[in-house]
Amino acid sequence: MSIQNTEQPQRMPEGEIHSGISSISFALNAIETNYKRLIGVTVKKASSCCQKGAEEDMSGVVRNISSENDGNGTLLLIVAWENGSMSSCRMGGQKTQYRDVEFVTGLGQLGCSNPAEVIAEVEQYRQQLIGEKVTRGPTWNEGDEDGGGLGIVTNISYWVGKGSEGPLRFTVEWEKPAMWSDEDDDQSRGYYRMGGKERYQDITFQNLKAFQENHNR
Protein backbone atom coordinates (compact mmCIF):
# COMPACT_ATOMS: atom_id res chain seq x y z
CA MET A 1 0.00 0.00 0.00
CA SER A 2 1.12 3.55 -0.58
CA ILE A 3 2.55 5.59 2.26
CA GLN A 4 2.56 8.86 0.36
CA ASN A 5 1.27 11.68 2.49
CA THR A 6 -0.25 14.59 0.61
CA GLU A 7 -0.52 16.67 3.77
CA GLN A 8 2.25 17.99 5.99
CA PRO A 9 2.63 15.35 8.72
CA GLN A 10 1.87 16.43 12.24
CA ARG A 11 5.15 16.51 14.15
CA MET A 12 5.25 14.82 17.52
CA PRO A 13 7.26 16.54 20.27
CA GLU A 14 10.68 14.96 20.73
CA GLY A 15 10.50 12.00 23.11
CA GLU A 16 6.70 12.19 23.41
CA ILE A 17 5.37 9.79 20.80
CA HIS A 18 2.59 8.36 22.94
CA SER A 19 0.58 11.02 24.74
CA GLY A 20 3.10 11.37 27.54
CA ILE A 21 3.20 7.66 28.41
CA SER A 22 6.93 7.42 29.01
CA SER A 23 7.14 3.60 29.03
CA ILE A 24 5.78 3.26 25.48
CA SER A 25 7.72 6.26 24.23
CA PHE A 26 10.93 4.85 25.70
CA ALA A 27 10.32 1.44 24.10
CA LEU A 28 9.73 3.02 20.68
CA ASN A 29 12.83 5.19 20.90
CA ALA A 30 14.96 2.24 22.03
CA ILE A 31 13.78 0.09 19.10
CA GLU A 32 14.35 2.86 16.56
CA THR A 33 17.82 3.69 17.90
CA ASN A 34 18.98 0.08 17.89
CA TYR A 35 17.52 -0.67 14.45
CA LYS A 36 19.58 2.21 13.06
CA ARG A 37 22.66 0.76 14.74
CA LEU A 38 22.15 -2.68 13.20
CA ILE A 39 21.30 -1.63 9.64
CA GLY A 40 24.44 -1.39 7.52
CA VAL A 41 26.57 -3.64 9.75
CA THR A 42 28.62 -6.31 7.94
CA VAL A 43 28.05 -9.92 9.00
CA LYS A 44 29.04 -13.46 8.06
CA LYS A 45 27.25 -16.73 8.70
CA ALA A 46 28.10 -18.29 12.04
CA SER A 47 29.23 -21.89 12.41
CA SER A 48 25.98 -22.56 14.31
CA CYS A 49 23.81 -21.42 11.39
CA CYS A 50 21.76 -24.28 9.92
CA GLN A 51 21.26 -22.37 6.65
CA LYS A 52 24.59 -22.87 4.92
CA GLY A 53 24.29 -22.54 1.15
CA ALA A 54 26.44 -20.48 -1.20
CA GLU A 55 26.70 -17.59 1.27
CA GLU A 56 28.62 -19.64 3.84
CA ASP A 57 31.99 -18.04 3.04
CA MET A 58 30.65 -14.61 2.06
CA SER A 59 30.06 -11.40 3.95
CA GLY A 60 26.76 -9.57 3.86
CA VAL A 61 25.17 -6.32 5.00
CA VAL A 62 22.13 -6.04 7.29
CA ARG A 63 19.35 -4.27 5.35
CA ASN A 64 16.37 -4.65 7.67
CA ILE A 65 15.08 -6.28 10.85
CA SER A 66 11.92 -8.32 11.25
CA SER A 67 10.77 -11.20 13.47
CA GLU A 68 9.96 -14.89 13.31
CA ASN A 69 6.41 -15.90 14.24
CA ASP A 70 7.67 -18.84 16.29
CA GLY A 71 6.52 -17.89 19.78
CA ASN A 72 10.18 -17.47 20.71
CA GLY A 73 10.54 -13.76 20.01
CA THR A 74 13.30 -14.49 17.49
CA LEU A 75 14.67 -11.53 15.54
CA LEU A 76 15.32 -11.85 11.81
CA LEU A 77 18.17 -9.86 10.30
CA ILE A 78 17.51 -9.38 6.58
CA VAL A 79 20.96 -9.70 4.98
CA ALA A 80 22.11 -8.82 1.45
CA TRP A 81 25.02 -11.12 0.52
CA GLU A 82 27.94 -10.50 -1.84
CA ASN A 83 26.41 -12.70 -4.54
CA GLY A 84 23.27 -10.54 -4.64
CA SER A 85 21.06 -12.96 -2.72
CA MET A 86 19.00 -12.03 0.34
CA SER A 87 18.25 -14.18 3.36
CA SER A 88 16.70 -13.94 6.82
CA CYS A 89 19.08 -14.82 9.65
CA ARG A 90 17.84 -15.62 13.15
CA MET A 91 19.22 -13.83 16.19
CA GLY A 92 18.28 -14.06 19.85
CA GLY A 93 15.05 -15.46 21.23
CA GLN A 94 13.47 -16.00 24.62
CA LYS A 95 13.70 -19.80 24.94
CA THR A 96 16.05 -20.83 22.13
CA GLN A 97 18.95 -18.43 21.55
CA TYR A 98 19.81 -18.27 17.85
CA ARG A 99 23.05 -16.82 16.45
CA ASP A 100 22.92 -17.37 12.69
CA VAL A 101 25.44 -14.61 11.96
CA GLU A 102 28.56 -13.08 13.44
CA PHE A 103 29.27 -9.35 13.26
CA VAL A 104 32.37 -8.53 11.19
CA THR A 105 32.62 -4.75 10.78
CA GLY A 106 30.63 -1.72 11.72
CA LEU A 107 30.64 -2.52 15.43
CA GLY A 108 31.50 1.10 16.19
CA GLN A 109 28.05 2.22 15.11
CA LEU A 110 26.52 -0.24 17.56
CA GLY A 111 27.87 1.86 20.40
CA CYS A 112 29.11 -1.16 22.35
CA SER A 113 31.71 -3.90 22.13
CA ASN A 114 29.16 -6.72 22.40
CA PRO A 115 26.53 -6.90 19.61
CA ALA A 116 24.51 -9.31 21.75
CA GLU A 117 23.66 -6.36 24.01
CA VAL A 118 22.01 -4.56 21.09
CA ILE A 119 20.08 -7.68 20.05
CA ALA A 120 18.90 -8.26 23.63
CA GLU A 121 17.68 -4.68 24.01
CA VAL A 122 15.80 -4.81 20.71
CA GLU A 123 14.15 -8.09 21.76
CA GLN A 124 13.14 -6.68 25.12
CA TYR A 125 11.32 -3.64 23.79
CA ARG A 126 9.84 -5.33 20.71
CA GLN A 127 8.15 -7.88 22.94
CA GLN A 128 6.62 -5.07 25.00
CA LEU A 129 4.86 -3.60 21.96
CA ILE A 130 3.99 -6.66 19.85
CA GLY A 131 0.52 -7.89 20.75
CA GLU A 132 -0.65 -4.48 21.98
CA LYS A 133 -3.98 -3.06 20.78
CA VAL A 134 -3.91 0.09 18.64
CA THR A 135 -6.19 2.50 16.77
CA ARG A 136 -5.45 5.09 14.09
CA GLY A 137 -3.26 7.98 15.26
CA PRO A 138 -2.82 11.72 14.54
CA THR A 139 -0.75 11.24 11.34
CA TRP A 140 -3.02 8.50 9.92
CA ASN A 141 -3.29 8.73 6.13
CA GLU A 142 -4.83 5.41 5.09
CA GLY A 143 -8.54 6.17 4.81
CA ASP A 144 -10.87 3.63 6.40
CA GLU A 145 -8.76 0.50 5.93
CA ASP A 146 -8.80 -0.03 9.71
CA GLY A 147 -12.59 -0.29 9.70
CA GLY A 148 -12.63 2.39 12.38
CA GLY A 149 -11.80 -0.17 15.06
CA LEU A 150 -9.00 -1.86 16.96
CA GLY A 151 -5.94 -3.67 15.66
CA ILE A 152 -3.11 -5.79 17.07
CA VAL A 153 0.60 -5.08 16.47
CA THR A 154 2.15 -8.22 14.94
CA ASN A 155 5.57 -7.02 13.75
CA ILE A 156 7.98 -4.08 13.87
CA SER A 157 10.54 -3.52 11.12
CA TYR A 158 12.36 -0.57 9.56
CA TRP A 159 10.91 1.30 6.59
CA VAL A 160 13.50 0.50 3.92
CA GLY A 161 14.09 3.26 1.38
CA LYS A 162 13.47 6.09 3.83
CA GLY A 163 17.14 6.50 4.74
CA SER A 164 18.62 6.82 8.21
CA GLU A 165 15.87 9.24 9.23
CA GLY A 166 13.09 6.89 8.20
CA PRO A 167 10.32 5.70 10.54
CA LEU A 168 9.67 2.30 12.01
CA ARG A 169 7.23 0.10 10.07
CA PHE A 170 4.49 -1.39 12.27
CA THR A 171 2.43 -4.31 10.96
CA VAL A 172 -1.12 -4.29 12.33
CA GLU A 173 -3.89 -6.88 12.01
CA TRP A 174 -7.27 -5.12 12.16
CA GLU A 175 -10.24 -6.76 13.87
CA LYS A 176 -12.80 -5.34 11.42
CA PRO A 177 -10.94 -4.05 8.35
CA ALA A 178 -12.76 -2.10 5.65
CA MET A 179 -13.93 -4.10 2.63
CA TRP A 180 -13.34 -7.37 4.48
CA SER A 181 -13.37 -10.46 2.28
CA ASP A 182 -13.16 -14.07 3.49
CA GLU A 183 -11.21 -14.83 0.31
CA ASP A 184 -8.44 -12.32 1.02
CA ASP A 185 -6.96 -12.39 4.51
CA ASP A 186 -4.38 -9.76 3.52
CA GLN A 187 -7.07 -7.08 3.66
CA SER A 188 -6.93 -7.33 7.45
CA ARG A 189 -3.24 -6.35 7.54
CA GLY A 190 -1.70 -2.90 7.16
CA TYR A 191 1.70 -1.20 7.54
CA TYR A 192 2.11 2.08 9.40
CA ARG A 193 4.79 4.67 10.25
CA MET A 194 5.98 5.44 13.75
CA GLY A 195 8.76 7.84 14.76
CA GLY A 196 11.50 8.84 12.34
CA LYS A 197 12.59 12.39 11.54
CA GLU A 198 8.97 13.50 11.07
CA ARG A 199 7.89 11.84 14.35
CA TYR A 200 5.05 9.93 12.69
CA GLN A 201 2.26 8.51 14.83
CA ASP A 202 0.05 6.62 12.39
CA ILE A 203 -1.24 4.43 15.23
CA THR A 204 -2.05 5.07 18.89
CA PHE A 205 -1.69 2.44 21.60
CA GLN A 206 -4.73 1.56 23.71
CA ASN A 207 -4.83 0.10 27.24
CA LEU A 208 -2.02 2.48 28.18
CA LYS A 209 -2.54 2.11 31.92
CA ALA A 210 -2.31 -1.68 31.69
CA PHE A 211 0.82 -1.40 29.54
CA GLN A 212 2.51 0.85 32.05
CA GLU A 213 1.63 -1.44 34.96
CA ASN A 214 2.84 -4.58 33.14
CA HIS A 215 6.14 -3.20 31.85
CA ASN A 216 7.27 -0.81 34.59
CA ARG A 217 7.40 -3.34 37.40
Please name each of the domains of the chain with its CATH number: 34-127 (2.30.30.40), 128-215 (2.30.30.40)
Q: Which residues does residue 79 pair with via DSSP β-bridges, in sequence order?
A: 62, 87
The answer, yes or no, to whether residue 157 has pLDDT greater than 80, is: yes
pLDDT in tens, 94-109: 778 888 998 887 655 6
Look at the alpha carbons of 103, 110, 99, 79 in this order and tell me if their dihedral is positive or negative.
negative
What is the arithmetic mean of pLDDT over 191-209? 86
Spatial separation of the C-alpha atoms in residues 62 and 137, rounded to whole Å = 30
Which of 42 and 159 is assigned the larger pLDDT? 42
Higher confidence at residue 59 or residue 37?
59
pTM above 0.85, yes or no: no
State the distance between the two ends of the chain, measured CA to CA, in whole angstroms: 38
